[in-house]
């Protein structure tokens, strides 16, 4: 079993905190993605798991063993870096087998392991080539193969796709997912790309300023964020945030937005939001929940009219932008329904997906 546990882990660089007392439990065979902006502590956390950085405080457990004082080579982990770190004078076979040869594995077992990994990664016909003869995607496969042949307890990936072009990144995401489904090794993957995180992970760990803001499945983070940071970071384009006030009207509640627009709060949210009546809030709604009217509307889908500032045709959909009290708001509409810049357009807000956020604590209410 290869569970990984971080308990109250802290990392200080002199007097600067990089990781601020995080707790994380990773199950055997789970694919966990650490995601967040630059400087949030995700790569530092990965390097502490690998043993490449010492912890300032806290404990790291791998497979039931405390590894704080265990050197990297004895932690039974394999790491794939952003740069492929392949030996240019060695063939693909020699690069993949290098770690096994250092540990004096029998030649027959080395050959069997390398060929098995090459089949998984579809690079069998590349084994006699050198790195300079390979594309970026092929080099990344070789780096993954070098990790797979070791059959480690844990795979660690440090932004492995950031050097690839957009099309190849999409392809390699799929390949990494396929490899995990075949090999089923506990995997910790670091990226700043929330699309990578959402498509790859069993669970996503969203980090912000050295802390964990939220841990959950991609579905949970997308539909039930706990903080403004998570709500805004997960999803592309990002969630819209508009200053608003929560008002009571008899038994019902409404959200008063700028430009004279008021939305009735869905009935199933009334009791949850009632304690915040009269207070300023941030109203959050994703672009895909702001559309043109489509057929019979649900009671919690409410229409409003705005003048468009920007129209971005995207092929299968068109992004429309308008401003509410200085806040730019984005919607996704059918290309055939989009109006020209400056024209009024009728839109529908699906309030079944709305969020209200406390502007002081930045927590979702």
Question: Are residues 87 and 166 both part of a single domain?
Answer: yes
In a domain, 39, yes or no: yes
pLDDT tens string 182-227: 888 899 999 988 888 999 999 999 999 999 999 999 999 999 999 9
Would 106 be classed as within a structural domain? yes
Domain total of the chain: 2
Indicate whether 80 pLDDT > 80.
yes
Q: What is the mean pLDDT of residues 283-311?
A: 90
Distance CA 19, CA 33 (A): 16
Of 233, 256, 275, which residue sits at a domain end? 233
How far is residue 345's CA from residue 337's CA, in Å, rounded to a whole number?
A: 9
Assign 4 a pLDDT band (cuts: 50, 70, 90).
very high
- Assess if residue 364 is contained within a domain: no
Last residue of a domain, one of 192, 208, 233: 233
pLDDT, tens only, 12-70: 998 889 999 999 999 999 999 999 998 899 999 999 999 999 999 999 999 989 999 99
Distance (Å, rounded) from C-alpha 211 to C-alpha 221? 16
Shared-domain flag, residues 175 and 284: no
Same domain, 78 and 185: yes
Look up the CATH number of the domain holding residue 256: 2.40.50.140
Residues 138 and 101 in one domain: yes
Do 254 and 279 fall into the same domain?
Answer: yes
In a domain, 329, yes or no: yes
d(CA 205, CA 197): 9
81 and 107 in a single domain? The answer is yes
162 and 125 together in one domain: yes
| Domain final residue pick, 233, 265, 286 | 233
Query: Could you tell me if residue 213 is inside a domain?
Result: yes
Domain shared by 211 and 264, yes or no: no
Burial of 278-289, coded b for 16+ CB within 10 Å and e otherwise, reads: eeebbbbbbbeb
What is the rounded CA–CA span in Å between residue 76 and residue 60? Answer: 14
* Dihedral sign from CA coordinates of 286, 273, 265, 259: negative
- Together in a domain, 182 and 265: no
Rounded distance between C-alpha atoms, residue 74 and residue 62, angstroms = 11
Same domain, 217 and 267: no
Residue 346 within any structural domain of the chain: yes
pLDDT score of 201 = 92
CATH code: domain of residue 137: 3.40.50.300
Supply the pLDDT for residue 1: 59
Is the same domain home to 339 and 200? no
8 A C-beta contact, residue 200 and residue 33: yes
Residue 13 lies in a domain: yes
Does residue 168 register a pLDDT over 80? no
Q: Is 244 found in the same domain as 227?
A: no
Which residue range forms the structural domain that includes residue 157? 4-233
Q: Residues, the chain, total?
A: 365
> Which range is least confidently modeled, 19-23, 79-83, 291-295?
79-83
Distant-in-sequence, close-in-space partners of 281: CB < 8 Å, separation ≥ 6: 243, 244, 245, 246, 255, 356, 357, 358, 359, 365
Please indicate, yes or no, if residue 365 is contained in any of the structural domains. no
In this prediction, residue 351 has a pLDDT band, given cuts at 50, 70 and 90, of very high
State the DSSP H helix or E strand holding residue 199, giving kind and residue range, or none if neither: helix 194-200
Tokens found for residue 83: 């740069």
User: Quick one: average pLDDT of 66-91?
Assistant: 87
């Amino acid at each position: 079993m290869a569970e990984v546990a971080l308990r109250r882990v802290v990392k200080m660089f002199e007097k600067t905190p990089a990781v601020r007392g995080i707790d994380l439990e990773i199950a055997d065979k789970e694919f966990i993605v650490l995601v967040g902006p630059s400087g949030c502590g995700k790569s530092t956390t990965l390097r502490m798991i690998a043993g490449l950085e010492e912890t300032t405080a806290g404990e790291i457990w791998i497979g039931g063993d405390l590894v704080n004082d265990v050197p990297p080579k004895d932690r039974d982990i394999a790491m794939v870096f952003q740069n492929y770190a392949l030996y240019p004078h060695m063939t693909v076979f020699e690069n993949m087998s290098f770690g096994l040869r250092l540990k004096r594995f029998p030649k027959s077992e080395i050959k069997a392991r390398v060929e098995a990994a090459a089949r998984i990664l579809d690079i069998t016909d590349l084994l006699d080539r050198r790195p300079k003869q390979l594309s970026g995607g092929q080099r990344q496969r070789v780096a993954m193969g070098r990790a797979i042949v070791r059959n480690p307890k844990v795979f660690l990936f440090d932004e492995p796709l950031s050097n690839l072009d957009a099309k190849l990144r999409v392809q390699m995401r799929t390949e990494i997912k396929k490899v995990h489904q075949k090999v089923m090794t506990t995997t910790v993957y670091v990226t700043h790309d929330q699309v990578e995180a959402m498509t790859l992970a069993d669970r996503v760990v969203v980090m912000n300023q050295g802390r964990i803001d939220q841990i959950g499945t991609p579905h949970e983070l997308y539909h039930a964020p706990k903080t403004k940071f998570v709500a805004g970071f997960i999803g592309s384009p990002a969630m819209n945030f508009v200053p608003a006030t929560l008002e009571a009207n008899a038994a019902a509640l409404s959200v008063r937005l700028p430009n004279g627009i008021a939305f009735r709060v869905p009935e199933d949210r009334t009791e949850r939001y009632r304690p915040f009546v009269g207070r300023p809030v941030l109203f959050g709604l994703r672009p895909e929940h702001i559309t043109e009217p489509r057929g019979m509307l649900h009671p919690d889908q409410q229409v409003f009219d705005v003048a468009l500032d920007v129209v971005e045709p995207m092929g299968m959909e068109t992004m429309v932008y308008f401003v509410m009290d200085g806040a730019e708001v984005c919607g996704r509409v059918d290309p055939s329904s989009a109006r020209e810049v400056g024209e009024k357009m009728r839109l529908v807000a699906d309030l079944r997906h709305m969020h209200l956020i406390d502007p002081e604590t930045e927590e979702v209410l």
